[in-house]
Structure 1
């Protein structure tokens, strides 16, 4: 009999760009010393979870986070680990690497809102957001909505489907704030944007017969458990 298939989806640790308020997307910076410390606590809090396998995006900050968590795990050296480019963050094109104020300054204006708060109060869709980023991108690198949707859904669903076919069990996945938030919206379209997912937070999904169920979102208790251990 198969075990339940459970994805523990982690937002990567806090990076240099996160700390100084720059948009990362496909650009990358390493975890700060404080960011590493929090992920060590997270790893300690997850060390007893029997993971069958582990994945991260191919961004350096996600790989660094995954390595720290596995380093802290009781059987980390025995857990198969791979990267998957499909679970990367969104690409913000020419806005990658700029200050957050540039992205969240121009996008509301494109969508005819006064400012970021006005935009979020009106609960824009992820398609609206993606279309506005494409419109703002002067380099023509930003991904259109349908491409983001296809890669993010297929990335996570393929991981879950393979694990279910192989008997189920727990999977650790390190991904990115907007990507995780977007995945949640594909599972439950009634959810508001989860822009505020914390670095090191765990979002847990259960997968059965081709369907995801959301168990927990933005869970920080594993970090606190590790801090106390």
Structure 2
């Protein structure tokens, strides 16, 4: 059995200014660093066999903060894997989030994901709209993200002697991972806050969501 402790990275300056942040990157804010340190202290007594992040600096920095407080960090293998990157927003990456959402919501002029979902669109439909309206059409839709996540978990399960895994994730990535492996035990409607904890277990090659977006 594997237990995955999936922590969303700390707040960045792009998060703070409500910019679309996918593969673009920004440093952690002071609050972001403080919140990750707080989470780190809650996890300091867990012996992680492996600590994984994407190759984006905000994820690597968050991972390193958590390991800096961990009692067993010297024995923890660290790995960066781009399969665990945030959703790729293509043309929209780095732009003002409210303005982008007003564009894709048409005449409704809705400026948050929550409002658009409340209006009746699913996240899959929002992602498809973002892709269609991206002049480059490089923005990931939901099927592309799901395929990437499946590849990431196939890669992860190749590590036979790894039981406790720290995985630093991203907001939309974490939400979709949770939705893919949720057996109805958790409400995954909201994107998890920065520095919150989501737990998954892998038992007999089956991934199960245990908890989602927990503030420690």
| TM-score (ref. length: structure 1) | 0.85
CA contact under 8 A between 2:187 and 2:212: conserved in structure 1?
Answer: no
Deviation for aligned residue 1:211:
1.3
In 1: Cα distance, 2:188 partner to 2:99 partner: 19
In 1: Cα distance, 2:201 partner to 2:38 partner: 24
SS of match in other structure, 2:42: helix
Per chain length, whose mean CA-contact separation is higher, i.e. which structure has more relative contact order (CA < 8 Å, sep 6+)? 1
| TM-score (ref. length: structure 2) | 0.90
Deviation for aligned residue 1:204:
0.1
- How many residue pairs match? The answer is 213
In 2: Cα distance, 1:150 partner to 1:172 partner: 22
Structure 1: state its 5+ residue gaps.
222-229
206-215 vs 193-202, which moves further: 193-202
Deviation for aligned residue 1:123:
5.3
From the two aligned structures, give the one with the greater helix fraction: 1
Distance 1:192 1:100, change over 3 A: farther
SS of match in other structure, 1:39: helix
CA contact under 8 A between 2:183 and 2:208: conserved in structure 1?
Answer: no
Deviation for aligned residue 1:210:
2.0
Structure 2: state its 5+ residue gaps.
none
SS of match in other structure, 1:58: coil
Task: Give the aligned partner of residue 217 of structure 1.
Answer: 212
Task: Give the aligned partner of residue 128 of structure 1.
Answer: 125
Aligned residue runs from structure 1 range 112-123, under 5 A: 115=110, 116=112, 117-122=114-119
Distance 1:114 1:188, change over 3 A: farther
CA contact under 8 A between 1:15 and 1:61: conserved in structure 2?
Answer: yes
RMSD value, Cα = 2.0
Task: Give the aligned partner of residue 44 of structure 2.
Answer: 47
Deviation for aligned residue 1:87:
0.9
